[in-house]
Chains A and B, each alone.
Chain A
Amino acid sequence: EIVLTQSPGTLSLSPGERATLSCRASQSLSSSNLAWYQHKRGQAPRLLVYGASNKATGIPDRFTGSGSGTDFTLTISRLEPEDFAVYYCLQSGSSPYSFGQGTKLEI
């Protein structure tokens, strides 16, 4: 089973700042099967990035995914108030699928 470890657990920043979120896999995985989600309380998780670096439809340009092998990164270039949420990475290349434990982005 592939274990995904996200860091940091909590990231405290202000609007306008840059956020860098990390997702590290316990073994190398295909970039095609790494995705990032934004989750706000009471809402469905929202797909941000798939295939490690491809933005989903309607996702603002300030969100950028990168990485390969075991190290993946989600960067939010200039934080907007609506970006404060919990972010998860997901690997879907190896059963069982697995999520990282999440990074809480707080003001």
Chain B
Amino acid sequence: EVQLVESGGGLVQPGGSLRLSCAASGFTFSAYAMRWIRQAPGKGLEWVSAISDSGSSTYYADSVKGRFTISRDNSKNTLYLQLNSLRAEDTAVYYCARVYWGTYRYLDYWGQGTLVTVSS
């Protein structure tokens, strides 16, 4: 069974940092690209960052570019998102998701999310 479990969220002051983790199981993690998506309170889903299966290619939404860093450790089946210079508007539930990339392309499995609250 495919499972994605996020962790690392919490309360942090503006300007602070957090590292989110997404532990993957039930599939060959190194064969799949991954994504981070977030949902701010009362808002819709927003794509945050992307990483290729090998980790050699990464992409960021303009809203987080230069502040967030996505990475992965395929030996540990874990995806990461380093959040620096946090702002109040980064408050959200952060989800990791697996990319299905074949004839069709979509996010097929998601984690339950981890809440990040940026507040003084």
Contacting pair A88 B44 (CB below 8 A):
yes
Task: Annotate B43-56 by CB proximity to A: 1 below 8 A, 0 otherwise.
Answer: 01111001000000
Kindly identify which residue among B61, B104, B109, B112 contacts A96, using a CB–CB cutoff of 8 Å.
B61
Interface size class of A (residues with CB under 8 A): 20 to 34
Supplied contacts A86-B44, A100-B44, 15 more A-B pairs, CB within 8 Å: A42-B112, A45-B95, A50-B100, A50-B108, A51-B103, A54-B104, A56-B108, A88-B45, A90-B107, A92-B105, A92-B106, A96-B47, A96-B61, A99-B37, A99-B46
Residues of B within 8 A of A47 (CB): 106-109
Contacting pair A50 B104 (CB below 8 A):
yes
Binds B, one of A20-28, A31-39, A71-79: A31-39
CA distance A42 to B111 in the complex (A): 11
Residues of A within 8 A of B61 (CB): 96
Kindly identify which residue among A32, A37, A46, A100 contacts B105, using a CB–CB cutoff of 8 Å.
A32
Contacting pair A33 B47 (CB below 8 A):
no
Return B101 CB to nearest CB of chain A, in Å. 9
In the A-B complex, the 4 residue pairs with the smallest Cβ-Cβ separation, listed nearest first, are A35-B106, A44-B110, A51-B104, A99-B45
CA distance A95 to B100 in the complex (A): 15
CA distance A37 to B103 in the complex (A): 19
Return B26 CB to nearest CB of chain A, in Å. 14
CB nearest neighbor in B for A32: B104
Instruction: Known A32-B104, A50-B106; judge A43-B47 contact (CB<8 A).
Output: no
Contacting pair A97 B47 (CB below 8 A):
yes
CA distance A77 to B93 in the complex (A): 31
Task: Annotate A82-93 by CB proximity to B: 1 below 8 A, 0 otherwise.
Answer: 000010101011
CA distance A93 to B106 in the complex (A): 9
Interface centre among B37, B46, B110, B112 (most CB of A within 10 A): B110
Contacting pair B59 A93 (CB below 8 A):
no
